[in-house]
Structure 1
């Protein structure tokens, strides 16, 4: 099942499998290509985050963080010089970012830049992940914006900045992902599956598939509220929900994402 694959890939408690050379490239291409529709940077792809925040508030789930991400396949460079030129151009576009030293993981080079807003409410992260195959360099560009609080002001600031950044950084229509995290602190003993069903109902979504365990539930669903979707088992999906119970006297952790959860759970 598609959701089982994602769960194994992202769960911190399960070791991620190793993907070699072409396998790594295929995986990245697969994730990016899964988005059923892509469209220009405007409120359409940012509204889901606000929808998820409102749903959490109505369900009395305390928000702990949010993320908006844009990803784009940047293509191949034929040699090191071409790759270096691509990185330099990106650096010049983001002189206000703090860039770290390149990280080398086998044949993959990861270069990351970050910037925090003056009020501390928003953190931006730009990542260039490049895999070397023979003498060619294949790059994927990822831009993420994260925060912990959500208000009308934060929303307006985040949406405006995200729109500006993605327009400047990406040459074509990237794939967009949104995710929100929260926790349930109440003392009512309600099964995780029941909690997940409550969340699905909030989005008028139809269940597609899921994993049900005693302390972990992950569901995929489809809602007509949003325009992006993936195909799985000949069905559309654009909503993923994950809940984890780590034991007595600890909050239930909640993740909601569209079209898939990029965050680890």
Structure 2
């Protein structure tokens, strides 16, 4: 009996160790934004903007006003406005963090008036990036998302930066270097004189969406040459949510 007990105890301890190791590994994994930020740093790209964005249909059990009241109560510090036209009714809540005015949270609840279908959008965006800022605010984003949506939703991560360069060939060279950093293969490309836009697939991230040609993608890159020599670089997963 003692031998059987010790055997069961050993299995439990082994399972606990493996599970703890798995949790530790997950906690140590980089988020998508951290991965992009680290790649930007290695390629001398100065970060100017970043964004986390998510959305979901309104809860079926709630009306527009009920959802608005619930979310307003969960986001009391936000300043709210409500607009209505022939097509949609929109409530927008905005909160600029007083500790760092570079970070803004925005919640939008949009109802199609003819169908009464509603959608909720939540975005956190910033103009400064440090590891400490990210550690502080990724928890805020996660908790706010749970309060708003009460379910798991897909995140859209996007980052914009500036890189030096003054020739069209530099766009392609830089794009190829970034694709290699992301371990990505291009699936679609738009190549213009001062703009290079690429949709690609990387195994670094599991989340994917289909392209128009029904290929899977989970990374978008856009490089635009500006007057004066700088290059605007925007990277996002699974798609871009920042203008370039």
Tell me, yes or no, if structure 1 residue 64 matches structure 2 residue 48. Answer: yes
Deviation at 1:234, TM superposition (A): 3.6
The corresponding residue for 1:104 is 84
Deviations for 1:138-168, whole angstroms, at most 9, x for unmatched residues? 1111111111121121110121111111111
**TM-score (normalised: structure 2):** 0.81
Deviation at 1:58, TM superposition (A): 0.6
Q: Which has the higher contact order (CA 8 A, sep 6+)?
A: 1
Rounded to whole Å, the distance in 1 between the matches of 2:127 and 2:30 is 16
Deviations for 1:201-259, whole angstroms, at most 9, x for unmatched residues? 11111111110001111101111111211122342110000111233x15211110000
Rounded to whole Å, the distance in 2 between the matches of 1:243 and 1:230 is 21
Gaps of 5+ in 2: 1-25
**TM-score (normalised: structure 1):** 0.75
The corresponding residue for 2:205 is 226
| Root mean square deviation, CA, Å | 2.3
Structure whose CA Rg is larger: 2
Give 1:191-202 correspondences, 5 Å limit. 191-202=170-181
The secondary structure found in structure 2 opposite 1:161 is helix
Q: Answer yes or no: is the 8 Å Cα contact 2:33–2:159 preserved in 1.
A: yes
Deviation at 1:176, TM superposition (A): 1.1
Q: Answer yes or no: is the 8 Å Cα contact 1:116–1:124 preserved in 2.
A: yes
Rounded to whole Å, the distance in 1 between the matches of 2:36 and 2:169 is 21
Q: 1:179 to 1:105 in 2, by over 3 A?
A: farther
Rounded to whole Å, the distance in 1 between the matches of 2:173 and 2:61 is 49
The corresponding residue for 1:73 is 57
Tell me, yes or no, if structure 1 residue 54 matches structure 2 residue 38. Answer: yes
Q: How many residues align?
A: 217
The corresponding residue for 2:222 is 242
The secondary structure found in structure 2 opposite 1:66 is strand
Tell me, yes or no, if structure 1 residue 254 matches structure 2 residue 238. Answer: no
